[in-house]
Amino acid sequence: MRNVSMHKFIYLLVLPGLFQIIVFDYVPFYYLQVAFKKFNVFKGLEHSPWIGFQNFIDLFNSEYFVQAFKNTVIISLMQLLIGFFVPVVIAIMLNELRSRKFARVVQTTIYLPHFLSWVIIGGLFVTLLSPNGGVVNILLSWVGFEPIYFMASPGWFRWVLVFSEIWKNAGWESIIYLAAIVGIGQDQYESAIVDGASRFQRMVYITFPALIPTMLVVLLLKISNILRIFEQVFVMYNPVVSEISETLGTYVYQIGIRKGDLAFATAAGLFNSLVSLVLVLAANYIVKKIRGQSIV
């Protein structure tokens, strides 16, 4: 108590964040019971009848849920596998630029998209990829290609999602790796120079290995959110490509908000969270085997 009285102003600063965590992270646990009830808005939570795992049984028997889960996994893996190393490459390239002023300009330019909302980015990509006057299709027409309906083509739409996600976040994520590069001892580079190592060899044998611990942490964070794709798809998808772009996030929105089946939507959301938890624990177990110590 003496420490609390001595540092009461610091504890007061903590209270708003603590209040937010309790209200938005812990209080919702109480309402997870909706997933196990035949919830009726007029009867309320307490008086709605329990139905056990029936909502989950109906969920797994729904072809739309299965399709949404499949799409979520495919899109998430595409974004993870293709986009994971892009920030690493950007960070290493920025670190190797001789002009620090030019490097700062480039760095500022590439991380600015992170501050744009998906609504703005969605509108931007719709305009750029439009078959009628879009910049990309104009360039394609100059080299003899027919206009491509990127936003309404099942073969192209997932790639649009992947590219737009990388374009938005890769520059920002590279800051993490740049910070890790700053922490590498300069004596390693000096020793490598004395031994005759080229710039490329120093990147391969010093910089990249030093980034691996940071990469493992970032990978674990990405895996924890691997199934949480909503805003990007919600803004950019349309009925023409819904079959290959409907994700668990948009599926829960359609069922819970638009159709009003809150119990079914809660069951879908709970399943999503449980799968994410299993993936994080599995990734952490693998990291522990590799590094000898876990991250979480």
pLDDT in tens, 60-73: 888 888 898 899 98
Please give the structure tokens belonging to residue 83: 């986009």
Q: CA 215 → CA 118, 127, 162, 183, distances in Å?
A: 25, 34, 20, 14
d(CA 215, CA 231): 25
95-132: per-residue pLDDT in tens?
888 888 888 888 888 888 888 899 999 889 988 888 88
Using pLDDT thresholds of 50, 70 and 90, give the confidence band for residue 163. very high
pLDDT (0 to 100) of residue 164: 92
d(CA 75, CA 37): 32
CATH of domain 2-27+34-291: 1.10.3720.10
- Asked whether the predicted pLDDT for residue 8 surpasses 80, the reply is no
Beta bridge partners of 50: 37
Whole-angstrom Cα Rg for the chain? 24
**Domain boundaries, given as residue ranges, for the chain:** 2-27+34-291
Q: CA 254 → CA 219, 271, 273, distances in Å?
A: 30, 16, 18
- Asked whether the predicted pLDDT for residue 89 surpasses 80, the reply is yes
- Asked whether the predicted pLDDT for residue 146 surpasses 70, the reply is yes
d(CA 64, CA 163): 26
In 3-state terms, what secondary structure has residue 148? coil
Please give the structure tokens belonging to residue 236: 């950019």
Using pLDDT thresholds of 50, 70 and 90, give the confidence band for residue 4. low
Using pLDDT thresholds of 50, 70 and 90, give the confidence band for residue 13. confident
- Asked whether the predicted pLDDT for residue 10 surpasses 70, the reply is yes
> Rounded to 5 degrees, what angle do the CA atoms 99, 104, 107 make?
120
Q: What is the percent of the chain where pLDDT is above 70?
A: 97
To the question of pTM greater than 0.75 for the whole model, the response is yes
Contacting residues for 20 by C-beta, under 8 A, at least 6 apart: none
Using pLDDT thresholds of 50, 70 and 90, give the confidence band for residue 86. very high
Using pLDDT thresholds of 50, 70 and 90, give the confidence band for residue 38. confident
- Please, where are the H alpha helices in the chain? 2-6, 8-21, 27-30, 44-47, 54-60, 63-83, 86-96, 100-111, 118-128, 135-142, 154-182, 186-194, 199-202, 208-224, 231-236, 242-245, 248-253, 262-291
pLDDT (0 to 100) of residue 168: 92
> Rounded to 5 degrees, what angle do the CA atoms 126, 73, 160 make?
20
pLDDT (0 to 100) of residue 198: 84
Would you put residue 134 in left (φ > 0), alpha (ψ -120 to 50) or beta?
Answer: beta
pLDDT (0 to 100) of residue 296: 63
- Asked whether the predicted pLDDT for residue 221 surpasses 70, the reply is yes
pLDDT (0 to 100) of residue 295: 65
pLDDT (0 to 100) of residue 87: 92
Please give the structure tokens belonging to residue 233: 């798809």
Q: What is the percent of the chain where pLDDT is above 90?
A: 6
pLDDT (0 to 100) of residue 54: 87
pLDDT (0 to 100) of residue 2: 64
Other CB atoms within a 10 A radius of the CB of residue 71 amount to 23
pLDDT (0 to 100) of residue 167: 92
Name the most confidently modeled range: 76-90, 137-151, 191-205, 257-271.
Answer: 76-90
- Asked whether the predicted pLDDT for residue 199 surpasses 70, the reply is yes
